[in-house]
Every structure is written in C-alpha cells, then in structure tokens.
Chains A and B, each alone.
Chain A
Amino acid sequence: MAEKYEINQTEVWDGNYAAAHALRQAQVDVVSAYPITPSTPIVENYGNFVSNGYIDGEFVMVESEHAAMSGCVGAAAAGGRVATATSSQGFALMVEVLYQASGMRLPIVLNVVNRALASPLNVRGDHSDMYLGRDAGWINLDAFNAQEAYDMNLCAFRIGEHLDVRLPVMVHQDGFITSHTAQNINPLQDEDAYKFVGVYQPVEEMLDFSKPVTYGAQTEEDWHYEHKARQHSALMRSTRVIDEVFADFKALTGREYKRVESYMMEDAEVAVVALGTTVETLRQAAKELRKEGLKAGVIAPRCFRPFPFDQIAEVCGDAKAVCVMDRSAPGGAMGAMFNEISAAILATGKRPLVTNYIYGLGGRDFSVDEAKRIFKEQKAHADAGHITTQIQQFSGLRGPRLGFFESKRS
C-alpha cells in the first residue's frame, strides 16, 4: 500500500502541484508521461511521490508525448486507471493518439497546462493547444485557478470512468498563471478524495483472459460512420453524468461547478465570454463596473466539450451585447468559440450583438482595465443598437489597429 500523505486543510499549492496530488489521491494505476513546460512539474511531482512511496501504480517515463499517450492507451485498454499531463507542442505530438483514445472509449485523464503553439516558439499560456484538441472526442473541463485544477481532476476520473460515459477527459489550466502560481487550496484528505473518485471498474479489459478483446480494429465506409456516431452520442449525453458528479462534489466540498459558469448574468446588459484565468479578470472588471452602474456579466464554459450549446443561450439571457474572447490564433477565421457561442445564441431566436476578441496570445497579459474597456465597448454597441467596431478585433496588440468584418446589421 502506498503511504498516506499528510495534508493540511489549507495548503499553498500551485495548479501543477494540485493536479499532481489529485492524480496521487485517485491512486492512478499507470502514469505514462513526458515532461514539457509548463506541465513538467505535474510529472516531476508525481515522480517525487513515486520515489517516496506515496504511489502504488506504475510510472512510465517514455521518450515522447506521442508515446506518453500511446502508453496511456495501452494501459487503459489493460483495464486500470490512467492519467498523464502535457502542454502545447507535446499536446500537438499527442494528437494522433488522442483520437485513438476516445475512439476506443478509454477513460484516460489528461492534464493540459495550456500553452501557445509554435511557430514562433513560446512557452507561455494561451489556448492554442486546447483548441487543437477540441474535435478529438474528449470531454474538456476547464479550471480557472489552482483549486479548480485540483477539483476538476477528481471530477474528471468520476465522469470519464462512469459506465454511461467511458470517455477520456482533459483538464485544462492556464500555463504559468494557474500552473505556477501558488494559491490557497483546500484539498480533500486522501481517503475522502479516493472515496469520491471510486474504485476503477474495468470494461473490455485486455487482461481478462476469459474474454479476449480486439482493440483498434479498422472500420471502412460501411462501419466507420456508425462508430463515430455512437462515440459522439456518448460524448453529447455525458452532460447528465457531468452534472451529477458536480452535484456530488458540491455535497462533499461545498464547491459548486456548472457546465457553464456565469457571474452576474441574471440582469446583465452586456456580457463577455472567456475561458481560463481570464474569467477571474473579467469577474473583477464586471464587479467594478457594476459599481459604476454598468450591468456587466461574465460567461465561462467550464465544460468546453461537450459544448454546452443549450445552456450558453440560456445564460445569455437578455444581454444586448456579447463579446466572445478567443485566446488562440484563429488561423483565417473568426475565433472558434465566437462561432460556437454565436450559433448557440442564434438557435434561441434572440439577437444580441456578438463580437469577437482575439487576445492574450503567447501569454500576453490581459488586465482588468482592458477587460473594463471591452465591457464598455459592448455597452456602446448596445446603446447604438449595432456593432460599432469591426466584428473581430485584437486586444492588447501593438501596431496599427487590426480587425475584420463590418456588421451589416443596423
């Protein structure tokens, strides 16, 4: 048996350390990993737990991130709990295997400490890696701070391993701002955390020799479509389990999570949508603006996949202007989340003015002042009754003003 780790009710942990502890407490059977900035400390801390007797499972230090996820898939198919961590380029190298993991319905937990994608090379936080994997068929949970990085990890095992789900889960946290910033954390004691996560239940395991299984068969045009549809259906229907797990987690810890987090949206006239640490910046800005009389609200998809299409529209309420912030270079389109939020709102028949900001690429700071400016800009759209700027703009960018598309709506 692994040794019990003495934990105080409040610890000062950064996001990486918090995630590493969550993996330890979940008694993961196999961690197959390769280090990369800024997720490295998750792997290192786990290695420290291994070397000091706090881990019963196997720790496989492979030679690349592609191999890390490959090892995870092989291990998960062998019927046990599996987790790993990566960032950015490592995540990009893993992509092939991410699709394999979800197609095989293997409930692996992957910590993605979000970081920009090269070129040019950059180690700081943005959401390029998260966006790269958004169609990979994984559940994507987003943590906005270190406490949530811990909490989402524990929830991730419960959700992904649920017999009605059996899908891999990514837990995202912002590189450096969350991963390397020590904050007060209230972790669970080891036994409580493990009790919450539960005992792993194998499904179609390769080590059950009474039932040999073939994993990874080829499907051509007569079968592939049905398999992908079944997989998509499982992902779309995982929302029920996600809600249940969040409810159980609240009962245990008092900490409440929703698939879409909203802040002061009940009567909001203007809203800004974002992911990650930016959410806290926006909350601060909205709080201050409320004092000035601006009815500002914040929307944050906690669950990026399955995308909370219906809840987004609900949360938007009667907001007159909604700005969607994408922290990833859009590569010749509107920001991906802008498109998804717009589509969700469109389905309701409501027609707020929806605009898009690209921001924070490569770790560019996003300040409360800039957040306030963006809220005020939304107010200007709302007052004018039309979009007064270009639809896609760039926040915090040096040089001549950059933007695309004019609104034809009046």
Chain B
Amino acid sequence: MAITSVKNLKEFSTSNERFEGAHLLCPGCAHSMIVRELMNCTDDNLVIATNTGCLEVSTAVYPYTSWDTSWIHIGFENAATAASGAEAMYKARKRKGTLKDPDASVKFVAFGGDGSTYDIGFQWLSGAVERGHDFTYICLDNENYANTGGQRSSSTPIGATTSTAQAGRVSYGKKEKKKDMVAIMAAHGAPYVAQLAPNKWKIMAQGFQKALETKGPCFINTVSACTTEWKFDPKDTIHLTDLATDSLMFPVYEIINGHELNILYRPKTIVPVEEYLNAQGRYKHLFKPENKHVIEEIKKGITETWEMLQRREEARV
C-alpha cells in the first residue's frame, strides 16, 4: 500500500489531488473535505462506488466527472454491492491473469450518505460486510436526506427539525433517537469500524489509512456538517464540526474486530451541547421553554453514550 504521510499537514499537503473542483456540492459542504482526504491519503489506485445522494449528483453530471479514479454509481442503495462485484472481479481476473496491470495495487471504496447507509441501502451494506469483501465503506453522515431537500433519516438526532419531521406548534421535530450505525457495523464483526470527523483531520486520515490497509470490510461513519439543512453559515463548517466533537454529540472512536474500542479524541474541555445546538437552525426551536426537556434528553443521551464508550474502552471486550 502506498500511504501518503499524514504525520503533519505540510507533508500531507504534498499529495496530489484526485478529487477535482467544479463539482456541484454546496459551498462549505463537508462531503468533499472528507472525500478529498480519503483520496489524498493514499497513492493506491482506487475503485470507488457511490450511492445516490448529494455526493453522487454533484460529482458526475454528464459531461463532467470530478473523479480522477475509477468510479461507479448504480442506484441509491447498492454502492456496497457495486464495490463487492468489482472486488470479486478483481480477484477473479487476478487469479486468471487477465488484468492489464496485475501488479497495480488497488483499494475498493464505497461512499454513501446516511440516507443510503442507515436506511435505503442498509441491507446491501450489511450483506457486503457479512460476505467479507475487501473494501472500505464510508458514510458521509449529515443526518438527513439533504439531496432531496432535508427529510428525516434514521440518523437524524432527536429534536432536529426536518421537512418530514417538522418542529411545529405541537411537535419538537424528530421524536426518535439516532440509529447507532457504528455499533451495528461492529456487530457484523467487521475488522475495522470507526466514527471520524473532518475537523480532526489527522485522526480521520489515519483512520482512513487503517481501513484501507485492513483486509476485509471496514466501515467508517464520518460527521458531515450540512450547511444547507443544518442551517449554518458555509464558512463555519469546521467550527461547527469542532462543536460536534467537543460537545461529544459526535464522539470520535474506533472498534477493532467488533470489540476492541478505542476513543480517538477526548476534548480537553467538553463544550456544553447548547453551544452546538444553538449554532444551527435545525435546533433553534429547542430553546423554547416547552422544548427544554428535549435538550435534557439529548444531554442524557450524550452522557450515557460517552460513559458506555469509556467503559467499553476500559473493558476491552
């Protein structure tokens, strides 16, 4: 594997871009930060499959592609399966000696949003991971169906307003908690599972590299702050992501072989979650007196999750 050095940013910055500009993602979109970093952290050839979603509709609109590697999009739900098929073909052709360059190293990667990962493509992802294909699946988790205008997903946190779970006179927005996709994927026994964030670029790059190096199916959930649907100024994407990781709304950790959990980032000072919530339009209504209980519930959830992660890290089981 040809790893790009991510020891420090200066060294990392010498890697050549493989995700080109003039894609159509919103200004300030974290998707492209994450995708760029994945593509820049390795020199290996990549075959990338992408589910339907913001990333797909913005990066391959005929007659343009923003991908400098092989790339395929089939449907909303099946990037994991497209990667499975391509990986199987690679193995078959390698064995039969029909590859053009049999010595070229290649990594298979699939991208999906939380819509296609947590919801519509859940089964396809589960199947591909169970079958043990050698690929890395990266979820660009922006906690809603942003491509279709901001509907709820099973990744949308409790209390957020979305167009199909709206805050209104009698509703505080989404009633259900966010699905714990990382735990579900760890339960598949995947050799490497992580939750990473682009503000912690080095941890993220190292996580990507670990996943690419690990043989077998790896899953990474990345927080992808969505300026359009979370409703914050595009310039604040990284700042907002800082608040997400530092309030522990979005803890950064990895799980190896389904059980060995390592917390990868511990904020020096835990930021009150109100700061994170208040920085986004989708949570504004929670600050009304009648919705205070939702903030309390969010806080409780954060504490419980953080406690659980720390205990699992200690217990090593």
Tell me the A residues contacting B by CB distance below 8 Å: 29-30, 32, 56-58, 60-64, 66-67, 70-80, 82, 96-97, 100, 200, 205-210, 212-220, 223, 227
Contact = CB atoms under 8 A, between A and B. Distances in A.
Contacts of A30: 85, 88-89, 92
B71 A70 contact: no
Contact of B70 (A56, A63, A209): A209
A74 B71 contact: no
Residue in A74, A206, A214 with the greatest tally of chain B CB atoms within 10 Å? A74
Contacts of A77: 72, 82, 85-86
B74 A216 contact: yes
B93 interface: yes
A3 to B, nearest CB: 15
Contacts of B45: 209
Contacts of A218: 56-57, 60-62
A206 B83 CA distance: 11
Nearest to A59: B88
Contacts of A58: 88-89, 91-92
Contacts of B47: 78, 206-207
A62 B86 contact: no
A79 B130 CA distance: 25
A112 B101 CA distance: 35
Contact of A80 (B72, B75, B82, B93): B93
24 contacts: A30-B89, A58-B88, A61-B131, A63-B123, A63-B127, A64-B123, A67-B124, A71-B85, A71-B88, A73-B72, A73-B74, A74-B81, A75-B89, A77-B82, A78-B89, A80-B98, A97-B74, A200-B98, A209-B106, A210-B100, A213-B71, A214-B70, A215-B70, A216-B56
Contact of A70 (B70, B90, B104, B124): B124
Contacts of A220: 61-62
Contacts of B40: none
Contacts of A79: 89, 93
Nearest to B76: A96
Contact of A66 (B67, B78, B126): B78
B308 interface: no
Residue in A63, A78, A96, A205 with the greatest tally of chain B CB atoms within 10 Å? A78
A130 B234 CA distance: 50
A89 to B, nearest CB: 16
A217 B61 contact: yes
Interface residues of B, number: 48
A74 B127 contact: no
B32 to A, nearest CB: 16
A208 B99 CA distance: 8
Interface of B: 45, 47, 49, 56-57, 60-65, 67-75, 77-78, 81-86, 88-93, 95-96, 98-101, 104, 106, 123-124, 126-127, 130-131
A235 to B, nearest CB: 20
Contacts of B89: 29-30, 58, 74-76, 78-80, 82, 207
Nearest to A206: B70
Given A62-B127, A67-B127, A74-B86, A97 B75 contact: yes
A220 B78 CA distance: 22
Contacts of B100: 205, 207-210
Residue in B49, B60, B93, B101 with the greatest tally of chain A CB atoms within 10 Å? B93
Contact of A212 (B56, B68, B82, B126): B68
B99 A215 contact: no
Leading 4 A-B pairs by shortest Cβ distance: A74-B85, A63-B127, A74-B82, A216-B73
Nearest to A200: B98
B84 A217 contact: no
Contact of B85 (A78, A205, A227): A78
B40 to A, nearest CB: 16
Nearest to A226: B62
Given A74-B74, A78-B85, A29 B96 contact: yes
A263 to B, nearest CB: 41
A70 B95 contact: no
A212 B67 contact: yes
Contact of A223 (B57, B62, B77): B62
A66 B65 CA distance: 26
A60 B127 CA distance: 11
B275 to A, nearest CB: 38
A97 B74 CA distance: 7
A97 B82 CA distance: 11
Contacts of A100: 74-75
Nearest to A223: B62
Contact of B75 (A56, A60, A70, A215): A70
B75 A96 contact: yes
Contacts of A212: 67-71
Contact of A78 (B78, B90, B95, B126): B90
Contacts of A200: 98
Contacts of A75: 85-86, 88-89
A361 B303 CA distance: 60
A92 to B, nearest CB: 15
A56 B85 contact: no
A14 to B, nearest CB: 27
Contacts of B127: 62-64, 67
Nearest to A224: B62
Nearest to A34: B127
Contacts of A29: 89, 92-93, 96, 98
Given A206-B72, A207-B106, A208-B100, A71 B91 contact: no
B180 to A, nearest CB: 21
